[in-house]
Structure 1
Amino acid sequence: MEENANNDRVYDPNRLLDRVRETLKLSNDAALARTLQILPPVLSKIRHRRTPVSASLLIRIHEETNLSIAELRALLGDRRQKFRVTDAYIKVSPLEQ
């Protein structure tokens, strides 16, 4: 397991994906991709850290495994206590303006 100088876990999507495969008793990443309804190349990009694990994928994993989002984030190595949303993520409908 990778650890930094502060003995905290670091970001590791493989730890999360391996635990999900184990929990769902799947034999390989192709089966995992089918179960999570994502393309195998997307899963490969996540494993090779070219694409981050999205919130929607975490929710999908939660739906399949019943593991809490907090536990999934911990497996991923995400230790943030608070999240901040900027205006860039909030879409205002034309009727509200």
Structure 2
Amino acid sequence: MANLLQITSADINYQPEQLLDALLKLLNLKNDAALSKRLDIAPPVISKIRNRLLPVGSTLLIRMHEVSEISIKDLRALMGDHRPRFFVG
């Protein structure tokens, strides 16, 4: 397991728009408004995530997993987060 302090920004190629686009396609939705409705979140949240003003938080990641049945690991990979599991301490 990697230590949180050993992870660099080079290990992360954060692209949340890829995750959102994959969910739209998988769930056969037309737009971000439909996705926000399906995830039970406000539409501006999707917009802020897409424009990188808001990170994809753990609660939203879990909700995406519940709706799409994609594993958390695969959801993280879709947005470019390929970090190994990490240990703080």
Q: Provide TM-score, normalisation by structure 2.
A: 0.82
Is residue 26 of structure 2 the alignment partner of residue 23 of structure 1?
A: yes
Q: CA deviation at 1:83?
A: 2.7
Structure 1 gaps, min length 5:
1-5, 87-97
Is residue 68 of structure 2 the alignment partner of residue 57 of structure 1?
A: no
- Residue type at the aligned position of 1:64: V
* Greater gyration radius: 1
Q: CA deviation at 1:9?
A: 7.0
Is residue 60 of structure 2 the alignment partner of residue 77 of structure 1?
A: no
Structure 1 stretches (4+) deviating beyond 4 angstroms? none
> Which whole-Å deviations, capped at 9, do the CAs of 1:2-39 have from their partners, x for residues lacking one?
xxxx8x87110000000001000001110000000110
Which of 4, 9, 13 lines up with 1:10 in the alignment?
13
Cα distance in 2, alignment partners of residues 14 and 58 from structure 1 = 14
The share of aligned pairs that are identical, in percent, is: 52
Is residue 37 of structure 2 the alignment partner of residue 34 of structure 1?
A: yes
Q: Provide TM-score, normalisation by structure 1.
A: 0.76
**What CA RMSD, in Å, does the superposition of the two structures yield over aligned residues?**
1.9
Q: How many matched pairs?
A: 80
Cα distance in 1, alignment partners of residues 87 and 58 from structure 2 = 14
Structure 2 gaps, min length 5:
1-9
